[in-house]
Chains A and B, each alone.
Chain A
Amino acid sequence: MRDPLNKIVTEIKPSGIRKFFDIVSEMKDAISLGVGEPDFDTPWHIREEGIYSLEKGRTFYTSNAGLAELKEEICHYLKRRFGLSYNPAKETLVTIGGSEAIDIGLRAMLDPGDEVLIPQPSYVSYLPCVTLAGGVPVVIELKAENEFRLTKQEVLDAVTEKTKVLIMPFPNNPTGSIMTREDLKEIVDVVLEKDLFVISDEIYSELTYGGNHVSIAEFPGMKERTVVINGFSKSYAMTGWRLGYAAGPENVITQMVKIHQFAIMCAPTTSQYAAVEALKNGDNDVQMMRGEYDKRRRYVVNALRGMGLGCFEPMGAFYVFPDIRGTGMTSDEFANRLLQEQKVAVVPGTAFGDCGEGFLRISYAYSIENLKIALGRIENFVKKCR
């Protein structure tokens, strides 16, 4: 029999998170700080709107690019938060989470051999999505001494004639790093000079502490060459609803809609109705959740520093990325032993790229009580290892 499988797919490495997940799942009484999703339930008024849409029998397809009302609300949001003006009919697309938008954005833009710059540590799907789209992933290794921000020089060092797209994964999962307006300005200069396009994954845009998120599309000349990706999972605690969106130049969005209509048809109708409510009346919920995360963030950073694990102050998302190099263990060893000896699950930094070696991702999307217990156990472990 012939091999039924596609070579590109079979050669893609399975996600490092998956491997660790299998180990953790075996352990029944483990406390996890390994989750990449909010601990809050979706606010009730949003869930209630989803339920109401079902009761009203709104169980049909929507138009391919999404409900007109939702696209309008998305454009209102992008306008009021970032001053970005998009045409809801032509420049926005509602997708199955931010993940689909990343995938089809790359597929719409890449020709075989086009290079894509991927700053790492970052979300696990960029690299395989580039490969699957026929592109060539080029990893930029972000550095701890820069607090895992992307610098102009790093982009210049990685750029070639074949570079077409730069992925901007900020606020960042797993490091919690953000890019300020000044940081972005430098990157914008290179992007314009080298005629690159940007896929900006801003799924954590509502979760920044100490200042509002800045979108790279806000800079003059950038809206035309940026696909902004965002969604409802993190800001409104709606991960399971699977709803995200892309906003960008009409020519790119049109081709993304084409792929989306053949592959997906449309995002789930119930989720879209709930999302309209989220954007219309969800600001207070976002503020409440951000406030809670902020308290936990300070608590976790303080506790980690107290036990001698260095970490910069993460200003976004809900992760802390402590440096464990002082323990002499690799990320994998640390995470595995911590799990076996103290029954606490954290994710090795290497799950988000090789340059995550020496670091761990600790999620603070947990109650303070939970964090207290888990951090106490981590402290015991670190003391024993010294």
Chain B
Amino acid sequence: MEDRNNEQLKEAVLRAIDKNAKLSTKDLAIMLGYTEDEVVAAVAEMEADSVICGYPTLINWDKTSRERVTALIEIKVTPQRGQGFDKIAERIYRFDEVESVYLMSGGFDLTVIIDGKSMREVANFVSGKLAPMEAVLSTATHFVLKKYKEHGIPLVSEVEDERMLITP
């Protein structure tokens, strides 16, 4: 019973902070109907277990003066004996330029998402670092032209509250 309650609390916390990590533990406790101590303990436990791996901020870089390009690269690789895809995936994700790496089913093996200052920087990284790796058979680079929605949140400007101020 105790365990189930804790699991429910953890799930409720995750659902709440998934869209808004800024909520304080005090507010979370009120909103979810637990004590603040319980929420703090649950968050700490999930951080220790790497269930919660970080609290990044969703930034729409297009609205800033900073130039930034995102590229999605499809990679075909040769899996290595005894280690499958993990070893090569690790060699790739250790680069700072690499934002995400996913193992895929289908026509290619790895999806690598790269953030760079410019197309040239991305191109240099792909041709200089990724493509020459022994296990990499081929790469196909796609540049992102516009981001509409990320992490469930639309990046285009939201409409204002158009409801009348008072309704029955």
Q: Nearest CB to that of A173 among chain B residues?
A: B168
Q: Is B59 an interface residue (CB 8 A)?
A: no
| B166–A21 CB distance below 8 A | yes
Collect the chain B residues with CB atoms within 8 Å of residue A351's CB.
168
Q: Is A36 an interface residue (CB 8 A)?
A: yes
| B27–A17 CB distance below 8 A | no
| A35–B166 CB distance below 8 A | yes
Known A-B contacts A295-B16, A295-B32; the reply to A345 vs B27 at CB < 8 A is no
Known A-B contacts A39-B161, A295-B16; the reply to A32 vs B166 at CB < 8 A is yes
| A37–B31 CB distance below 8 A | no
Q: Is A124 an interface residue (CB 8 A)?
A: yes
Question: In the complex, how many angstroms separate the beta carbon of B9 from the nearest chain A beta carbon?
Answer: 13
Q: Is A298 an interface residue (CB 8 A)?
A: yes
Q: Is B164 an interface residue (CB 8 A)?
A: yes
Question: In the complex, how many angstroms separate the beta carbon of A252 from the nearest chain B beta carbon?
Answer: 25
User: Would you list which residues of chain B between 142 and 168 have a CB under 8 Å from chain A?
Assistant: 161, 163-168
Q: Is A24 an interface residue (CB 8 A)?
A: yes
Q: Is A30 an interface residue (CB 8 A)?
A: yes
- The size class of the interface chain B forms with chain A is 10 to 19
Interface centre among A25, A32, A291 (most CB of B within 10 A): A32
Question: In the complex, how many angstroms separate the beta carbon of A176 from the nearest chain B beta carbon?
Answer: 15
Collect the chain B residues with CB atoms within 8 Å of residue A25's CB.
165
| A302–B167 CB distance below 8 A | no
Q: Nearest CB to that of B165 among chain A residues?
A: A32
Question: In the complex, how many angstroms separate the beta carbon of A316 from the nearest chain B beta carbon?
Answer: 16
Contacting B168 at CB < 8 Å: which of A15, A24, A368?
A15
Collect the chain A residues with CB atoms within 8 Å of residue B16's CB.
295
Cα A329 to Cα B31 with chains together (Å): 30
Collect the chain A residues with CB atoms within 8 Å of residue B32's CB.
295, 298
Q: Is B54 an interface residue (CB 8 A)?
A: no
| B165–A30 CB distance below 8 A | yes
Q: Is B33 an interface residue (CB 8 A)?
A: yes
| B165–A24 CB distance below 8 A | yes
| B168–A123 CB distance below 8 A | yes
| B165–A302 CB distance below 8 A | no
| B31–A296 CB distance below 8 A | yes
| A39–B163 CB distance below 8 A | yes
| B30–A35 CB distance below 8 A | no
Collect the chain A residues with CB atoms within 8 Å of residue B168's CB.
15, 17, 36, 123-125, 173, 351
| A34–B167 CB distance below 8 A | yes
Contacting B166 at CB < 8 Å: which of A24, A39, A296, A299?
A24
Cα A231 to Cα B52 with chains together (Å): 40
| B166–A295 CB distance below 8 A | no
Cα A125 to Cα B31 with chains together (Å): 33
Cα A34 to Cα B20 with chains together (Å): 25
| A345–B33 CB distance below 8 A | no
Contacting B167 at CB < 8 Å: which of A37, A125, A299?
A37
Collect the chain A residues with CB atoms within 8 Å of residue B164's CB.
21, 35
Binding site for A on B (CB under 8 A): 15-16, 20, 23, 27, 30-33, 161, 163-168
Can you sample 15 A-B contacts with CB below 8 Å?
A17-B167, A17-B168, A21-B167, A24-B166, A36-B167, A37-B163, A123-B168, A295-B16, A295-B31, A296-B31, A298-B33, A299-B31, A347-B166, A368-B27, A368-B31
The 9 closest A-B CB pairs, nearest first, are A295-B31, A34-B166, A21-B166, A32-B165, A36-B167, A302-B30, A24-B165, A124-B168, A17-B168
